[in-house]
């Protein structure tokens, strides 16, 4: 089967279903095609199957540490080049350093303002920011 790519593909990894639904709506309205995963094992399987352009990864997952997901994706030649943006509720320079050292391309602390999230995703994809609608 040939997969048609409409816009940049993202894999959203978030275990909170309400937050995941809200983020999917935001990201799709921003022009991204979104795959979803609620845990680390599903994230790895989905990333391998669909090879998205970027993974938006919650670090607090129920089945494995988010950094373990990063390590597994970066260790697999099929998924090693996928950009990863870590999203966490834990702020701190040590946590940020661990994420970037593990292979994350960016580190964001929740709550992330929607415009900032979309801006960082576009920046990491090398896409220009969409024009804002101003009256």
d(C-alpha 84, C-alpha 73), whole Å: 9
Q: Please check whether residue 131 lies inside any domain of the structure.
A: no
Q: Is the pLDDT of residue 134 over 60?
A: no
Q: Please check whether residue 134 lies inside any domain of the structure.
A: no
User: What order do you get walking across the sheet with 9-13 strand by strand?
Assistant: 33-37, 9-13, 54-58, 83-88, 106-109
pLDDT tens for 24-55 read 999 999 999 999 999 999 999 999 999 999 99
Supply φ then ψ for residue 93, to 5 degrees.
-70, -35
Number of domains in the chain: 1
Q: Residue 4 — very low, low, confident or very high, per pLDDT cuts 50/70/90?
A: low
Q: Please check whether residue 4 lies inside any domain of the structure.
A: no
Residues 6+ apart with CB under 8 A from 55: 10, 11, 13, 43, 47, 73, 82, 83, 84, 85
Q: Please check whether residue 84 lies inside any domain of the structure.
A: yes
Q: What is the mean pLDDT of residues 12-18?
A: 97
d(C-alpha 61, C-alpha 39), whole Å: 6
Burial tier of 50 (Cβ tally within 10 Å: 0-12, 13-18, 19+): middle
Q: What is the mean pLDDT of residues 16-23?
A: 96
- Look up the domain containing 64 and give its range: 9-125
CATH number of the domain at 50, please. Answer: 3.40.50.2300
- Average pLDDT in the chain: 91
Query: How many other CB atoms sit within 10 Å of the CB of residue 29?
Result: 10
Q: What is the mean pLDDT of residues 119-135?
A: 73
- Answer whether 79's CB lies under 8 Å from 35's CB: no
């Amino acid at each position: 089967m040939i997969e048609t790519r409409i816009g940049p593909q993202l894999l959203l990894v978030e275990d909170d279903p309400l937050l995941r639904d809200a983020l999917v709506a935001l990201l799709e309205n921003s022009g991204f095609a979104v795959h979803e995963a609620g845990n680390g094992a599903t994230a790895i399987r989905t990333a391998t199957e669909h090879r998205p352009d970027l993974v938006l990864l919650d670090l607090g997952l129920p089945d494995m540490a988010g950094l373990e997901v990063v390590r597994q994706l970066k260790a697999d030649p099929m998924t090693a080049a996928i950009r990863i943006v870590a999203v966490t509720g834990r702020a701190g320079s040590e946590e940020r350093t661990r994420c970037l050292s593990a292979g994350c391309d960016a580190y964001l602390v929740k709550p992330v303002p929607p415009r900032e999230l979309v801006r960082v995703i576009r920046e990491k994809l090398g896409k220009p920011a969409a024009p804002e609608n101003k009256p």
